[in-house]
Amino acid sequence: MTAHDLVFVIVGLVTAVSAILVVTSRHLMHAALYLALTLTGIGGVFLVLGAGFIALVQVVVYVGAVAVLFLFGLMLTRAPIGREALDSQNRGLGLAVAGALFVLLAALIIPAFGGESTAEVTGPTIEAIGIAIFADWVLPFEVLSMLLLAALIGAILLARREAGESGTEAEVTRIEMGEALADEPDRHEAVGTSAPAGELGAGGGR
């Protein structure tokens, strides 16, 4: 066992243990922090594989952005932060599903890749990655920028409190489901008066 293998085992163990702690922890805040540790561990795995840049991106994006977003989300919403309400009483089912998935993936992945010999890995240089993104893959890269812009606009649209000229007139939909509605009121009357029922939001522009 080389030093390289030793580092890999340590990093892998840290990642796996903290991943288990994410789901067993009874404290929501602790679970979020263990998640951050798991994601850092995955960054470590990339580092061991010689992919330094990807390890950096992994830490910046997943630990720096996603995990911190989780923490902010927990603190800004009125989610139960303490020791309560974390057990959904589905431990058995969760264990069975996770175990089955593990066995299935192991049974599929180990025969498929198990025979591959581990070669000395040297990741591509950051320069090569940059050229790949901005020259070879420029089309998907630019499309992604439109996608992110759309996601940004969409998030604003959904989060914005409706005020002024936009969105104040939305009428509630009346959908007839199946055969359930036997004694249905006269629709033509009902529709005219249904608009106030659509005032679901607490705020609004009125």
Residues that bind another protein (CB under 8 A): 108-109, 111-113, 135-140, 143-144, 146-147, 149-151, 153-158, 162, 165-179, 181, 186-188, 191, 194, 198-201, 204
- Kindly state the smallest distance separating residue 198's Cβ from another protein, in Å: 5
3-state SS, residue 13: helix
Task: Please report which helix (H) or strand (E) contains residue 159, including its range.
Answer: helix 138-159
- Kindly state the smallest distance separating residue 162's Cβ from another protein, in Å: 6
Name the one residue in this structure whose structure tokens are 């240089």. Answer: 125
Nearer to another protein, 1 or 115 (CB): 115
- Kindly state the smallest distance separating residue 54's Cβ from another protein, in Å: 14
- Kindly state the smallest distance separating residue 187's Cβ from another protein, in Å: 7
Q: Spell out the residues 6+ positions from residue 18 whose beta carbon is closer than 8 angstroms to its own.
A: 34, 35, 37, 38, 41
Please answer whether residues 32 and 66 qualify as being in contact, where contact means their C-beta atoms are separated by less than 8 angstroms.
Answer: no
| Residues 19, 98: Cα–Cα separation, whole Å | 12
Nearer to another protein, 6 or 191 (CB): 191
- Kindly state the smallest distance separating residue 177's Cβ from another protein, in Å: 7
Structure tokens at 202: 């607490």
| Residues 51, 53: Cα–Cα separation, whole Å | 6
Nearer to another protein, 78 or 188 (CB): 188
Q: Is the dihedral of CA 102, 104, 107, 110 positive or negative?
A: negative
Nearer to another protein, 76 or 202 (CB): 202
Nearer to another protein, 3 or 181 (CB): 181
